[in-house]
């Protein structure tokens, strides 16, 4: 937890994670607030919701900037966009070490994120024939091949810089025509439900369970598109929303890194809390997990006996435990309470010990788990949140003990032997309260990100036709 990290967080908090105050700001702030409450998105003063008699016409968006009027016109995409189909670069010529150019493949555009470290391939030099496939800043890439019955294609990204990336096969580059279409507008257009409907409707079967969308079919898709000036206005407004999302994301990352640093310094005792009267707390003791609480390995009730299921007790499995979610509030399945169950009380620590080791949560209701999970019911002299956070801190070490095994397993005996350092109960509470406060900040920022993303989805539905 460096001073630099602390300063970065303070700077971000001072910004309040909002874009600089401008004409779009009031709309964004009000819209996000209303979106969070699941009300209709506000148009505020920037957008006109009743300016035209054409309001209900399908050729006019529900939300519109007040300086624009008239209908949008249905156009083939090739009248607004230049399409470049990817090239089948020869695999034997590809390099697996970093070179001048990186080939962009479908695997690098996963879930609409540019992931350059995912199976990277490189190319040393290009001739005149291959210059066509050299991508430019603001080019939009779209994946064309996926699995029958799934929508695991149609992912898109925007190229961040010039002269480094080459376009591989099964991708298409969408390049906005100069002074005819705006690249940022097009990037948002292809994220609308209308585009996806047309895109997947053009999908055709390929080899095996593979399905493809052809570039020619893509060129001929017709969508309603406004004037170049209105495109720019819409793109500018949505860019302000994207900036807000990015600022919130940066703040969340800073807080998460700050928390990691705080845990490192607290649990290594580089930082210590003082007692309320200013005196030092006693020295810490080292304990095995089995000394800190009762360890219980879960067991799945008989799935063939319907009478055991759909009751008041949560049944926790590894798939129920979500990353970075501290409290387990719901599960996919529940069981009926009976004397044969090893029921975990509220505030038990649940920890996966088979396959996906290290997923963890705290129970908020009476619960049981399946056999992939060991749980800790802390004894009275140990704060359950302190034990939770120390386990979170210890998890990389726990995982490393199983690094070279095909199916990682930590049985109850071995799990009970892991050691944690324990201060007095009062110091445990202070540490737990401090880390909990950080978690609340992180959760709050994560909620702001979700609300802003929801707000943007609503805008895409109402700013586009």
Quick one: 109 and 181 in the same domain? yes
User: What's the confidence (pLDDT) of residue 29?
Assistant: 67
Provide the pLDDT for residue 23.
56
Q: Please tell me the total count of domains within the chain.
A: 3
- The per-residue pLDDT for 10 is 55
Residues 210 and 167 in one domain: yes
Statement to judge: residues 219 and 240 lie in one domain: no
Distance CA 71, CA 190 (A): 20
Dihedral sign, CA of 268, 273, 279, 284? Answer: negative
Tokens of 100: 């001048």
Judge whether 249 lies within some domain.
Answer: yes
Residue 405 pLDDT: 78
Q: Which helix (H) or strand (E) holds 166?
A: strand 165-167
With b for 16 or more beta-carbon neighbours within 10 A and e for fewer, the 295-325 pattern comes to bbbbeebeeeeeebeebebbbbbbebbeeee
Residue 7 located in a structural domain: yes
Exposure of 372 by Cβ count < 10 A (0-12 exposed, 13-18 middle, 19+ buried)?
A: buried
Kindly state whether residues 429 and 446 are assigned to the same domain. Answer: yes
Question: Do 435 and 342 have their domain in common?
Answer: no
- 405-294-326 Cα angle (round to 5): 70
| CATH code at position 30 | 1.10.287.1120
Could you tell me where the beta strands, DSSP code E, fall in 231-372? 285-288, 293-297, 309-316, 327-328, 333-335, 349-352, 360-363, 367-369
Q: State whether residue 105 is helix, strand or coil.
A: coil
- Across the chain, which has 465 residues, the per-10-residue mean pLDDT values are 56 44 61 56 48 58 95 97 98 92 95 93 95 96 95 95 91 98 97 96 87 96 98 98 97 98 97 96 98 97 94 97 94 95 97 94 98 97 98 95 83 96 98 98 97 96 95
**Phi and psi dihedrals of 192, rounded to 5?**
-85, 160
Query: In degrees rounded to 5, what are phi and psi of residue 359?
Result: -75, 135
Q: Does residue 235 fall inside a structural domain?
A: yes
Q: Tell whether 417 and 427 lie within a shared domain.
A: no
Q: Identify the DSSP state of 191.
A: T
Q: Is residue 67 part of a domain?
A: no
61 inside domain: no
Q: Residue 141 corresponds to which tokens in the numbers above? A: 């890439």
Together in a domain, 335 and 415: yes
Domain identity same for 245 and 328: no
Task: Assess if residue 358 is contained within a domain.
Answer: yes
327, 362 in Cβ contact below 8 A? yes
Residue 18 maps to a domain: yes
378, HSE (Cβ side, Cα atoms, 13 Å): 23
Among 225, 242, 264, residue at a domain's last position = 225
Whether residues 149 and 208 share a domain: the answer is yes
Contacts of 193 (CB under 8 A, 6+ apart): 461
Q: Are residues 141 and 213 in the same domain?
A: yes
Spatial CB neighbours of 17, under 8 Å, sequence gap ≥ 6? 244, 247, 248, 251, 445, 448
Among residues 100, 393, 449, 156, the alpha carbon closest in space to that of 269 is found at 393
The whole-number pLDDT of residue 42 equals: 45
SS3 percent helix, strand, coil of the chain, rounded to 5, is 35, 20, 40
Domain final residue pick, 189, 205, 225: 225
Domain with 340 in it: 285-421
Query: Is residue 53 assigned to a domain?
Result: no
Is residue 335 located within the same domain as residue 460?
Answer: no
Q: Is 311 found in the same domain as 402?
A: yes
Q: What CATH number did the domain enclosing 173 receive?
A: 3.90.220.20
How far is C-alpha 223 from the geometric centre of its chain's CA atoms?
A: 29
């Amino acid at each position: 937890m460096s001073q630099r990290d602390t300063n970065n967080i303070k700077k971000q908090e001072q910004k309040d994670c909002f874009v600089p105050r401008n004409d779009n700001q009031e709309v964004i702030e009000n819209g996000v607030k209303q979106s969070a409450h699941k009300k209709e998105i506000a148009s505020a003063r920037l957008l006109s919701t009743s300016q035209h008699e054409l309001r209900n016409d399908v050729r006019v968006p529900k939300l519109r900037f007040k300086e624009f009027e008239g209908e949008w016109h249905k156009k083939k995409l090739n009248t607004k966009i230049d399409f470049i189909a990817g090239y089948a670069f020869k695999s034997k010529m590809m390099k697996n070490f970093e070179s001048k150019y990186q080939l962009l493949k479908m695997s690098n555009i996963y879930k609409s994120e540019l992931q350059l470290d995912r199976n990277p391939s490189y190319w040393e030099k290009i001739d005149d024939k291959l210059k066509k496939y050299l991508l430019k800043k603001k080019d939009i890439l779209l994946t064309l091949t996926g699995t029958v019955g799934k929508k695991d294609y149609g992912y898109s990204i925007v190229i961040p810089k010039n002269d480094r990336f080459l376009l591989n096969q099964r991708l298409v580059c969408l390049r906005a025509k100069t002074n005819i279409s705006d690249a940022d507008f097009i990037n948002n257009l292809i994220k609308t439900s209308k585009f996806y409907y047309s895109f997947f409707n053009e999908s055709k079967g390929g080899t095996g369970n593979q399905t493809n969308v052809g570039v020619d079919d893509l060129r001929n898709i017709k969508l309603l598109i406004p004037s170049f000036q209105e495109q720019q206005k819409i793109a500018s407004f949505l860019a302000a929303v994207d900036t807000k999302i990015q600022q919130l994301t940066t703040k969340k990352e800073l807080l998460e890194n700050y928390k990691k640093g705080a845990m490192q310094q607290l649990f290594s005792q580089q930082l210590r809390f003082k007692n309320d009267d200013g005196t030092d707390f006693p020295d810490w003791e080292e304990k095995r997990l089995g000394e800190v609480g009762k360890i219980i390995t879960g067991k799945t009730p008989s799935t063939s006996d319907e009478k055991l299921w759909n009751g008041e007790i949560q049944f926790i499995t590894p798939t129920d435990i979500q990353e970075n979610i501290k409290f387990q509030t719901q599960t996919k399945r529940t069981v009926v309470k009976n004397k044969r169950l090893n029921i975990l009380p509220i505030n038990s620590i649940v920890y996966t010990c088979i396959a996906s080791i290290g997923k963890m949560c705290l129970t908020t209701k009476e619960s049981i788990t399946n056999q992939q999970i060991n749980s800790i019911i802390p004894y009275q002299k140990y704060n359950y949140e302190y034990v939770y956070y120390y386990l979170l801190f210890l998890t990389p070490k726990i995982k490393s003990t199983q690094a070279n095994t095909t199916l990682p397993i930590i049985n109850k005996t071995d799990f009970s032997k892991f050691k944690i350092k324990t201060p007095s109960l009062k110091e445990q509470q202070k540490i737990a309260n401090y880390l909990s406060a950080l978690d609340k900040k992180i959760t709050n920022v994560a909620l702001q990100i979700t609300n802003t993303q929801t707000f943007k989805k609503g805008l895409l539905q109402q700013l586009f036709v």
